[in-house]
Chains A and B, each alone.
Chain A
Amino acid sequence: MSLIQEINCLTGEVTVYEIPDEETISELVEEIIETPTE
């Protein structure tokens, strides 16, 4: 996961959030594909 810090230049509000890296996305996709649907 990558940690991003964002500053909104209009409001001055600063937020910190995570975005998944490519490896994490691949793992999640694999997990979804392997999960049987009901």
Chain B
Amino acid sequence: MAISTTFSPGSDDWTLIATVTPNTSVSSVVFSSIPVHSKLMLVDRGVWAGTASTAKWIRINNDTTPSKYLGSRLNAATPALANVNDANNIVNDYFVAANAAFATQFFFTIESANTSNPKLVKSIGQFNQLQGLYLGSAPVTRLDYILSTSLISTSNPAALELYGVK
């Protein structure tokens, strides 16, 4: 009897689209003219913010419509159900990719990025885990990486990397 491969999950082929090390004193980094991909992933290897109270936000397609950003996140040094915080994402026009700390690392993924349908987003990082939905209808061609309160410091420069799956 032949072995069925019906349930094989396959594997995504993540390829590097762009990488950049932020300059000193910038408050946001924009990835523009992103070629259309089915999935996108932004990796922060620990870009150093100016203060420990700085969160890192992601805005999609420069869309500032709060009602298109839905989500829930665990927000704590020791995540627990009691720390579920969904208010931050429902009322704002961005997703919180990393919670306040000097140099949190995270990876932020977007699924269905090439469709006109809702896009599932996830962020996994120190002190923060997010699951959300972006309701914009255009394929994703721009991501804004924004610091909430301060500027990027020279203390410990690190790269931002954008990957995609065709």
Interface residues of A (CB under 8 A from B): 2-12, 14, 16
Contact = CB atoms under 8 A, between A and B. Distances in A.
B35 to A, nearest CB: 7
A12 B34 CA distance: 10
A5 B26 contact: yes
Contact of A3 (B18, B33, B151, B162): B151
Interface string B9-53: 000000001101011011111111111000000000000000000
Contacts of B25: 3
A11 B30 contact: no
Contacts of B29: 4-7
A7 B18 contact: yes
Interface of B: 17-18, 20, 22-23, 25-35, 151, 162
Contacts, number: 46
A35 B29 CA distance: 36
Nearest to A7: B20
B151 A5 contact: no
B35 A16 contact: no
A5 B20 contact: yes
Contact of A11 (B31, B33, B151): B33
B28 A10 contact: no
A8 B26 CA distance: 16
A6 B20 CA distance: 9
